[in-house]
Amino acid sequence: MKINLSSTYHPQTDGQTERVNQVLEQYLRCFINYHKDNWVDLLPVVEFAYNNTFQESIHQTLFFANYGYHPRFDSLNLSLAKNPVAQDLVTRLLEIHKDTKARLVEVQERQKRNVDKSRKQNPNISVGDKIWLLHRNLKTRQPSDKLDYCRLGPFRVSKQVNEVAYRLDLPSSMKIHPVFHVSLLEPYKESTIPRQLPAPPPPIEINEEEEFEVSKIIDSCINRRRL
């Protein structure tokens, strides 16, 4: 496995996990009680159901991809228990993993081709360049989002984290993570018209909630069977 850290406001990096979470929530929503407090007890059953479900991407279940067989969710019958040869099981698992990896690569390439049809080429950005940061996912302290700046900055690029993520030199008033996906960046072009340079905007302040650290709990009660 390889860790692939996502950049700010770019959930596509971990989209597969987010999609699986939606499926698990859908399962739980069908069987959870009125107070929504027994989902922890149902989670193992949900996990078993998902892992034993046919996956379109690998054309088999996750259980079969990991163990080479489909477990049965019923009482054990010791008279039917078998002990296969370990080497045969390893050989079969290696073949399954090889086929699974090839199918996943095929699905990923197909998804990438479909998404690239509506994508434009990444701008040419280098360390030290000035760029605009799109206001799309940021909430400033301006009273109206519609009349606020569409682009913030310009900011200078301090580091290229990878092929599609850059670190920006943000002011101290913007207390957010400084690494952004290239889809949120636009190159900055200085005006060539004399005396047409706009005045620098005021410092950008991002909305943030105050956080407090609890020092002591002085009382508690049970409300609707919850503490």
pLDDT at 81: 45
Whether 62 maps to a domain, the answer reads yes
Whether 172 and 109 map to the same domain: the answer is no
φ and ψ of 159, to 5 deg: -160, 145
Whether 29 and 110 map to the same domain: the answer is yes
Closest CA to 28 of 40, 19, 18: 40
Task: Say how far apart CA 155 and CA 159 lie, in whole Å.
Answer: 12
Whether 68 maps to a domain, the answer reads yes
The whole-model pTM stands at 0.49
Whether 54 and 112 map to the same domain: the answer is yes
Whether 52 maps to a domain, the answer reads yes
Whether 26 and 97 map to the same domain: the answer is yes
Whether 27 maps to a domain, the answer reads yes
Domain that holds residue 134: 130-187
pLDDT at 166: 92
pLDDT at 198: 65
Whether 88 maps to a domain, the answer reads yes
Q: CB atoms < 10 A from the CB of 205, how many? A: 13
pLDDT at 76: 46
Whether 104 and 39 map to the same domain: the answer is yes
pLDDT at 163: 85
What's the total number of domains in the chain? Answer: 2
Q: Is 98 helix (H, G, I), strand (E, B) or coil?
A: helix
pLDDT at 138: 82
CA 111, 114, 115, 120 torsion: positive or negative? positive
pLDDT at 159: 92
Q: Provide the strand spans (E) within the chain.
A: 130-134, 151-162, 165-168, 179-181, 185-187
Decide if 187 contacts 129 (C-beta within 8 A): yes
Whether 25 maps to a domain, the answer reads yes
Task: Say how far apart CA 227 and CA 224 lie, in whole Å.
Answer: 8
Decide if 37 contacts 226 (C-beta within 8 A): yes
Whether 138 and 87 map to the same domain: the answer is no
Whether 50 and 97 map to the same domain: the answer is yes
Tens-binned pLDDT, residue by residue, of the chain (227 aa): 777 777 777 777 777 778 888 888 888 888 888 788 888 888 888 888 888 888 888 888 889 888 888 886 654 444 554 666 677 777 777 787 788 788 888 888 888 888 888 877 788 888 999 999 988 888 887 777 777 778 888 899 999 998 889 999 988 878 888 899 888 899 888 877 777 666 666 777 776 666 677 889 999 999 888 88
Whether 68 and 154 map to the same domain: the answer is no
Whether 92 and 153 map to the same domain: the answer is no
